Homo-oligomer: A and B are copies of this chain.
Amino acid sequence: MSVFPVAELSSPAAARQVARELLPRLAARSQQHDATGEFPAADFADLREHGLLGLMVPEELGGSGASFADYAAVAVELGSGAGSTALIFNMHASVTGALAHTSDELLRELGATDAFLAERDRLLGAAAAGALYGVAMSERGSGSRLSRTTTTYRRVDGGYRIRGSKAFVSGAGHADAYLVTAKDGDAAEPTVSYFLVPAGDGVLVEPTWDAMGMRATGSHDVHFDVRVGPEALLGGIEGLALLVAQVMPQWLVASYAAVYVGVARSALRNGAAHLCERGLHGLPTVRSRMGRADAAVAAAESVVREAARRVTEQPGEPETNRWVWRAKLVAGDTAAQVASSVLEAAGAAATRRGHPLERIYRDARCGALQPATSDVCADWLGVAALGGDPDHDTDSPRW
């Protein structure tokens, strides 16, 4: 894996401050990245240089030792600068965060050996040193449903052979390794496991990503036909994927939420700038739209912050998980609505390509469509509100 020079160890608070300071730089580059759809390399150089790739890594492994609440605060800032960059970062943070926040005790209970714990530490240390991880979980046709994974792994000499095609792999071609979900090709019962597969031979990026919004995520298809050593199986534990989805839904469900709160904030900021510049800030309808948008963003931000606080303080609790799903629903819907209303306040001139609000309008629409979609969140939350078990009371599996 690549090793870059990184900033010295920094605290979570420092990381938040760094994210705030990087915001204008990310924002300045975001139009160009959107126009070309290219990977935001300069943004990631900044993140690396300032140690943000080690945000979730424990201090003893060279990182900032951040909590989920810290992550959310950082992601809001990054998303307010450049949505695509924040989304790629979100994937990396999900991998490193889930690795860092699963206790040794639990891993040992599930069967992890010392060798696997050492491998985990190596992966985290590499992140602190600048390695970037991607997530290769979704597949065409089945979306992010783990239970419908068609990528398989089989035991071979020296480890596993993993074969299958993934879609929506943010940062594809720029990650040093990918978290791949694959099912046991030999098992009768569906067993979906996590592998961390290094970039290189047998990992082929097909440049399919050309989407309406979040264009610079480079969320291409990636085809895997690769042999990996036994250490690539995360924790050395098979069947971890569904468990993580239910026990740590924050990383699959709500890590997006913070990004979209950031995107919604950028709609407010750019809208206010545009309207003041054009001398339209005194119009009653403009004030009304901006005021309601401001309140909606504040509400979304508060929900995300509350969810993040609970994940940090009471991870895995049923009530915590409800807040996680609420955060995803509110943030996704709010971003789309706020961007649309602010664009309407700004007027037709803001729909020209190259205008920040034009990009933000397209970026903001994506949140509700990413898993878990708003409609899926609403159903999950409805079951919970009606006293049911939302992870299991469902016609078709959630994951």
Contacts and interface: CB of A to CB of B under 8 A. Distances in A.
A326 B351 contact: no
A380 interface: yes
Interface stretch (A16-24, A81-89, A94-102, A288-296): A288-296
Interface stretch (A107-115, A188-196, A229-237, A357-365): A357-365
B369 A295 contact: no
A286 interface: yes
Contacts of A143: 347-348
A369 B351 contact: yes
Interface in A35-66: none
A353 B212 contact: yes
A100 to B, nearest CB: 26
A368 B382 contact: no
Interface in A294-335: 294-296, 298-300, 302-303, 305-306, 322-323, 325-326, 329-330
Interface residues on A, range: 35 or more
Given A284-B284, A387-B276, A365 B373 contact: no
Integer count of this chain's copies in the complex: 4
A269 to B, nearest CB: 9
**Which of A143, A292, A336, A368 has most chain B Cβ within 10 Å?**
A292
**Nearest 4 interchain pairs by C-beta:** A287-B382, A291-B382, A291-B381, A302-B302
25 contacts: A210-B354, A211-B352, A211-B353, A212-B353, A212-B361, A281-B387, A284-B284, A284-B379, A285-B379, A288-B378, A289-B375, A291-B385, A294-B326, A295-B303, A295-B381, A298-B303, A298-B323, A298-B326, A299-B300, A302-B305, A305-B306, A340-B365, A344-B369, A348-B369, A362-B362
